[in-house]
Amino acid sequence: MLPLLFALQAAPVSAQSASVAFGALEQDTSLPVEVTADNLSVDNASGTAVFTGNVLISQGEMTLSAGKVQVIYRAADQGIAKLEATGGVVLVAGEDAAESQRADYDIDAGTLVMSGDVLMTQGASALSAQEMTVNLTSGTAQMSGRVKTILQPGSAN
């Protein structure tokens, strides 16, 4: 789990959905995707590859780590269409970070959907929800499913 390094100075706030910014930069989804892992299994018939063990994926300024990532290729060697990550998923973009049980990255749509006990940290603030959809083109995110945050009051200097 990502450490939450802040004091609980305000009451928790709960809602069904929330829109937030995610990542310091807009992500160029046409950049190369670099994958590092302990193991690789390729199935040419289905057009998939499965990376397991300490999987680390990077694209531009964004990194994603997980226990297992399935890569789904487009037909006729036209590149990667989707990535499906499971097992301790952690996404880092700029100074923002999120963790979940699963993440599905649709490269063509430029969206990444994290699901299952999502926890996002932005500096001293944290938000949790059951699902977070990140639009990597705009750098925005939509959180849904029992959204909870703890708001930090400003300092009185």
R_g (Cα) of the chain, nearest Å: 17
Q: Is the pTM of this model over 0.85?
A: no
pLDDT at 55: 97
Give the chain as a DSSP string. -----S---S-EEEEEEEEEE-SSS---TTS--EEE-SEEEEETTTTEEEEEEEEEEEETTEEEEEEEEEEEEPGGG--EEEEEEEEEEEEEETTEEEEEEEEEEETTTTEEEEEEEEEEEETTEEEEEEEEEEETTTTEEEEEEEEEEEPPPPP--
Nearest CA to 64 out of 27, 11, 30, 39 is that of 27
pLDDT at 10 over 50: no
Q: What is the pLDDT of residues 76-110, one digit of tens each?
A: 767 888 999 999 999 988 888 999 999 999 988 88
pLDDT at 46 over 70: yes
pLDDT band for position 16 (50/70/90)? Answer: low
CA distance 93 to 60: 9
pLDDT at 40: 96
pLDDT at 21: 60
**How many Cβ atoms sit within 10 Å of the Cβ of residue 101?**
16
Q: What percent of the chain has pLDDT over 70?
A: 76
pLDDT at 152 over 50: yes
Q: What is the largest CA-CA distance in the chain?
A: 64
